[in-house]
Chain A
C-alpha cells in the first residue's frame, strides 16, 4: 500500500517536472541534464556489478550499445506503427508514444540482459582481471559488429530515431534503477553479493552459489545499461558506433569508483559531477581533457575509497547528521 502510494506520488512529481523543466532550461542545459540522467542510470547499474559484487566489468558501453541499437531498430520498424495507430484512435502525443517507447526500452534492456547472461555464464568462473578483459573484449566486438552491419547504418550511424524519451522517462528509470539497487542491497540476495565482494572463497564456503549470484548481478546491471542506451537513442535521435567505445565504459567506471564502490548515492553524485565537469571546463577547450585526467589521478591518490566510500546519503543518515554526532552514536 505504502509503496503504491510512493509510486503514484513519484509519477505525479515527474509529470509536473516534465512540464516545467523544459520550459525553464535552454536546449543546451536540457541536454546536459538528460545526459546526467542517462549517466546516473549507467553508473548505478554498473555499481551493481562492480560495487556490490566486486566483479570488474569494463564493457558497460557494449551493453549500452546493444540496448541503444536494439530499441532504436524496434522503434524504427515497429514502434512508429504503434504510435501512428494510437494517434488515429485519438490518443494525445505523449500518451500514444508511451507504450511504444516502453516496449522499445524493455526490449533493449532484455537484449543487453541476454548478452550479459551469455558473457557472464562462461566468463564469471574466471576471476578478477580475466573477467575485466573478457568484458573489454565483448564491448569492442559489439562495436566492431555494429560497424560492419549495414542494416544499422554501420560507420555512418543510425539517424531518424523518434525522440520520444523526455525528462519524465529518464526520471522514471533513474527511480527504477535506484530502487532496484536499494531493495537488492537490503535483501538476502544483496547480502550474498556483498559476501562475494568481500571474500569470494569464504562466501562459497558458506554455501553462496557464487557463479549464480555473479551472473545475476551481471544480468540486472546489463539490463539497466541497455535501458540507458535506449533512452540515449530516443533522446538524441541519432546513434553512432563511436559513442560506445572503450572510453565510454571507462567514464562509467570512473563514476562508480569516484562515488565510492557500492554506494548508490555515491554513484548518482559522481555521475552528475563527471557529466558536468567536462561541460564546465568547456571555456578552457584544449586543456579540458588534460584537467579531467589530472583530476582523476589526483582524486585516486588522495581519496582512493571514492567520495562517499561505502556510505549512503539517505534521510535517516541526514537526520543523524543534523542531531549531532553524539546522538548519532547513541
Chain B
C-alpha cells in the first residue's frame, strides 16, 4: 500500500508535467486543428534556455535560492514564447490556407529543425542542469515521501493551470480564443483579429511547455536536444486521451498518463514505459473516440 501511494505521488507529479505540455497541444489543436509536432521540441528548448540562464547567473552555487529559480523559469518561458511566435509567423502562417496535411508536414519539418538545430547549437551529448534547488525529502506520513522538487513541480504547474484557466475564461483575449476555436469566420466578423489570437495561443502554449521543461530539468537534470521527442508524443496522446481541444481534458489526460506510466514502470517493466501511452490511446479511441471529457459531434452534411 505504501509503495502504491508512493507511486501515486510520483505519478501525479510526472503527470502534471505532461499536463502542462498537453495544454499547448490542445489549445493549438482547438484553434487551428493542427497537431503541432514541434511542441515537444519547444519543451526541450525551455530546458536549455533555463540551463544557459542558470549558468550565466551562476545559480548553481546558490542552493535553495528561490528567486534565482524563479528568474530561470521566467527567462525560459519568455524565450520559448518568442520561439513560439517565430515558428507560427514563419512556418505555420504561410501554410494556413493550404491543406491540413501540408501544415502537418511543415510541423514535422519544424520539429526536425529544432532537434537538429539543437544538436548543432548545444551539442548532441547530454548536459547536466545545475541543481538550483537541493533535493530534500518531506515525509507525508505512512512511509510516503515527497521531495521538495516534486512539491515545486506540483505547485508551479497548478499555479500555471489556474492562470491559464483565468485567461481563457475571464479575460477578453480568452473570450476571443474561445470564439476563434468555434468558428474563424464568425469570430473575424465580430471584429476579432484571428491572426493575433492564433499568435497569442502559440506563445501561451510555448510558455507552458517551457515551464514543463524547466520543472523536469529540476528533477532529472540530464538534458539533451532529443529529450522532447517522446514526452512530446506522449503529451499529445494525453491531450487526445482527455479530449483534444478541451482544456480540462488535457490536464486530466496528462495526470492519467503520468500515473499509468509510473505504475507500469513500478509494477511491470520499465521497458514497457513507452508502450503504455499508446495502448491507453488505442483503448480510449475504441471505446470513446472523443476522449474522456470530449463531446462527440456528429458530422453535418
Interface residues of A (CB under 8 A from B): 50, 56, 122-123, 126-127, 129-130, 132-134, 136-138, 140-141, 144-145, 147-148, 201, 205, 246, 250, 253-254, 257, 261, 286-287, 289-290, 292-294, 296-297, 300-301, 304-305
Contact = CB atoms under 8 A, between A and B. Distances in A.
B120 A261 contact: no
Contacts of A301: 91, 94-95, 106
Nearest to A129: B35
A300 B272 contact: no
B117 interface: yes
A150 to B, nearest CB: 11
Contacts of A297: 91, 106, 109-110, 113
A134 B98 contact: no
A297 B120 CA distance: 18
Given A134-B281, A141-B278, A144-B275, A257 B105 contact: yes
Contacts of B112: 289, 292-293, 296
A292 to B, nearest CB: 7
A246 B230 CA distance: 10
A71 to B, nearest CB: 23
Nearest to B97: A304
Interface of B: 33, 35, 91, 94-95, 98-99, 101-106, 108-113, 115-117, 119-120, 229, 233, 236-237, 240, 244, 269, 271-272, 274-275, 277-279, 281-282, 285-286, 289, 299, 301
Q: Which of A50, A126, A144, A292 has the most CB of B within 10 A?
A: A144
Given A148-B271, A300-B95, A293 B116 contact: yes
B113 A300 contact: no
What is the predominant secondary structure among interface residues of chain B facing chain A?
helix
Given A133-B237, A134-B285, A289-B116, A257 B101 contact: yes
A293 B113 contact: yes
Contacts of B109: 293-294, 296-297, 300
Closest 5 CB pairs of A and B: A137-B278, A304-B98, A293-B112, A296-B109, A289-B116
A201 B299 contact: yes
Contact of B271 (A134, A144, A293): A144
9 contacts: A133-B237, A148-B272, A205-B301, A257-B101, A286-B120, A297-B113, A300-B103, A301-B106, A304-B99
Given A130-B285, A134-B282, A305-B102, 16 more contacts: A56-B104, A122-B286, A132-B35, A133-B240, A134-B285, A137-B278, A140-B277, A144-B272, A145-B275, A148-B272, A250-B108, A286-B120, A289-B112, A292-B112, A293-B116, A304-B95
A50 B102 CA distance: 12
Nearest to A139: B278
B236 to A, nearest CB: 8
A123 B240 CA distance: 15
A133 B283 CA distance: 12
A254 B278 contact: no
What is the predominant secondary structure among interface residues of chain A facing chain B?
helix
A232 B272 CA distance: 26
Given A130-B289, A201-B301, A304-B99, A290 B275 contact: no
A131 to B, nearest CB: 9
B272 A304 contact: no
Given A126-B289, A130-B285, A300 B279 contact: no
A234 to B, nearest CB: 28
A123 to B, nearest CB: 7
A138 B99 contact: no
Contacts of A138: 278, 282
A16 B251 CA distance: 62
A300 B286 contact: no
A261 B100 CA distance: 12
B122 to A, nearest CB: 12
B285 A123 contact: yes
Contacts of B33: 129
A301 B275 CA distance: 34
A313 B111 CA distance: 32
Contacts of A147: 271
A134 B280 CA distance: 11
B296 to A, nearest CB: 11
A110 to B, nearest CB: 22
Nearest to A295: B109
Given A133-B285, A293-B113, A297-B91, A140 B120 contact: no
A56 B275 CA distance: 21
B101 A56 contact: yes
A296 B299 contact: no
Contacts of B285: 123, 126, 130, 133-134
A289 B289 CA distance: 36
Contact of A290 (B102, B120, B279): B120
Given A293-B109, A301-B94, A246 B233 contact: yes
Q: Which of A123, A130, A253, A305 has the most CB of B within 10 A?
A: A130
A153 to B, nearest CB: 14
A141 B283 CA distance: 13
A46 B288 CA distance: 28
